[in-house]
Structure 1
Amino acid sequence: MPIMPPRASKKAPILVVLHQERSSPGRVGQMLIDKGFPLDIRRPVLGDPLPKTLAGHTGAVIFGGPMSANDPDDYVKAEIDWISVPLKENKPYLGICLGAQMMVRNLGGSVAPHRQGLTEIGWYPLNATEHGRLLMRWPKMVYHFHSEGFDVPRGAHLLAQGEAYPNQAIRYGDNAWGVQFHAELTRAMMQRWVVHGAHRFIMPNAQKGREHLEGRMIFDQPLKAWLSDFLDLVFDREARRPPLAAATLEAAL
């Protein structure tokens, strides 16, 4: 289902992969449209095919969902295998939560629950690594809704860390990125998640619903600003040049 910017765009569309009938790309989708990218939205779980090549796309985003990257369902395995397309073609790829975990599985890494059964459901601190700081500024608090995490596959760089789940953001090669947290939620989306996910708030380390909404009032604006810059970093090669040049200069000193 294509969604076009309000004005005609010469940019190639971005493939958006969602995992439920009523799922939305939220702020990620709106920001990409505002940046001039048409969206090509597909739901493989409902039978939508994924393209054999991204030659006609700028890149791809795979979002989160209630399923696990370890599930045996055919469509889960097919999505994991499909990520080889952007990786081999060196097209920008962004995995969010499940999408990041699927990329890790594709690269030979593992996805698993916390050893002590902890979850991250609510707002939690984020700390950038040296690699991450050289690329951009990161928010201090981010929003989560998960009970599994990923390791860092061979060849990938860790960009940001957390407490319960240490691996929060990774980069593989020039164009593949994965984040464990959610910056895409609009207020309406968070309200729905809080209502429909309330049964999860009794899980270890999970926050109560009011903490989700109160945290949004405090932490959402920096997260929203970060997301806009991060999407430029992922999908606009020009946006990477100044920070990387600075990083190279700093490394030489």
Structure 2
Amino acid sequence: MTARAVAVRHVPFEDLGLLAPLLEARGYRTSYLDAGIDPLTAQAAVEPDLLVVLGGPIGVHDTRDYPFLEEEKAAVRARAESGRPLLGICLGAQLVAEAFGAPVGPAGRAEIGYAPLQLTEPGRTSALRFLEDVPVLHWHGDQFGIPSGADRLAGTPGVPNQAFSRGPGVLALQFHLEADHRRLERWLIGHAYELAARGVSPGKIRAEALAHGDLLARGASEAFGAWLDDIETAADRR
């Protein structure tokens, strides 16, 4: 049977990006659930072979303004409790962290642009080992704590918790490893107000994407590939 990967998407341009062709090459059939539009039940979250929760411009605590987040949080908790493979990116990573009982809140600063990670000792033996000295795309103003039982994999000087894993099947990334630099203009248009409000030049991000995009794409392919190997190996052992 064909494996299924479902991605929860919050804005159209923050999609699976570089991860999509890797999943398709491994035989996954991919589809999206658009948050706030498509029903996101616990059953819908638990059924796929892989659930990916993508980024977006809102925060995990914005439930008053965006009530659908309550349904989404319940769905992510159900997935986390199921023990099945789960990948969270940016907002998605914060939702995963909260599902495992970790705090999420403002970082006190925004990170927008390309910058390298500092891998921890567990990070250097994880799927993220391929990102040593590779500038990745950061685009966030919130941060997560590390859940109990999880390994902190990476940080930056300003935001020390950039990634964690919890067993072979759960990976949470504060940064955008999936972002395809060849399609980044959509991000610059979609987040134009935030860039202007924070005084970040779109031209600066374009230049960084040109300088680092190819290297990041190779690192992303290797890192995502290693993580998919890990979850497939774990599945074979069950």
TM range (shorter): 0.7 to 0.9
In the alignment, residue 195 of structure 1 is paired with which amino acid? I
The offset of 1:77, in angstroms, is 1.9
The offset of 1:91, in angstroms, is 1.2
The offset of 1:86, in angstroms, is 2.9
Report the counterpart of residue 95 of structure 2 in structure 1.
Answer: 102
Report the counterpart of residue 65 of structure 1 in structure 2.
Answer: 56
Post-superposition Cα deviations, 1:152-188, rounded to whole Å, max 9, x if no partner, equal: 1222110011121111110112311100111222245
From the superposition, tell whether residues 85 and 229 of structure 1 become closer, same or farther in structure 2 (CA, over 3 Å): farther
5+ residue gaps, structure 2, are none
Provide TM-score, normalisation by structure 1. 0.81
Residue 83 of structure 1: SS of its match in structure 2?
Answer: helix
- In the alignment, the residues of structure 1 paired with residue 85 and residue 70 of structure 2 have an alpha-carbon distance, to the nearest angstrom, of 21
Q: Aligned residue pairs: how many?
A: 229
The offset of 1:148, in angstroms, is 0.9
8 Å Cα contact 2:59-2:91 kept in structure 1: yes
8 Å Cα contact 1:16-1:61 kept in structure 2: yes
The offset of 1:192, in angstroms, is 1.7
Higher mean displacement: 49-58 or 29-38: 49-58
Alignment of 1:169-180 (within 5 A): 169-180=163-174
Matching of residue 34 in structure 1 with residue 25 in structure 2: yes
Matching of residue 235 in structure 1 with residue 228 in structure 2: yes
Report the counterpart of residue 223 of structure 1 in structure 2.
Answer: 216
In the alignment, residue 95 of structure 1 is paired with which amino acid? G
- In the alignment, the residues of structure 2 paired with residue 53 and residue 41 of structure 1 have an alpha-carbon distance, to the nearest angstrom, of 11
- In the alignment, the residues of structure 1 paired with residue 46 and residue 38 of structure 2 have an alpha-carbon distance, to the nearest angstrom, of 22
- In the alignment, the residues of structure 2 paired with residue 238 and residue 102 of structure 1 have an alpha-carbon distance, to the nearest angstrom, of 20
Report the counterpart of residue 123 of structure 2 in structure 1.
Answer: 132
- Note the aligned Cα RMSD (angstroms): 2.4
The offset of 1:50, in angstroms, is 3.6
- In the alignment, the residues of structure 1 paired with residue 39 and residue 182 of structure 2 have an alpha-carbon distance, to the nearest angstrom, of 26
In the alignment, residue 159 of structure 1 is paired with which amino acid? L
Post-superposition Cα deviations, 1:202-252, rounded to whole Å, max 9, x if no partner, equal: 556x642112111112212222122222222333337779xxxxxxxxxxx
5+ residue gaps, structure 1, are 1-9, 242-253
8 Å Cα contact 2:14-2:54 kept in structure 1: no
- In the alignment, the residues of structure 2 paired with residue 227 and residue 155 of structure 1 have an alpha-carbon distance, to the nearest angstrom, of 25
Percent same amino acid at aligned positions? 25
- In the alignment, the residues of structure 2 paired with residue 55 and residue 207 of structure 1 have an alpha-carbon distance, to the nearest angstrom, of 39
Higher mean displacement: 133-142 or 211-220: 133-142
In the alignment, residue 67 of structure 1 is paired with which amino acid? I
From the superposition, tell whether residues 174 and 186 of structure 1 become closer, same or farther in structure 2 (CA, over 3 Å): closer
8 Å Cα contact 2:8-2:35 kept in structure 1: yes
The offset of 1:53, in angstroms, is 6.2
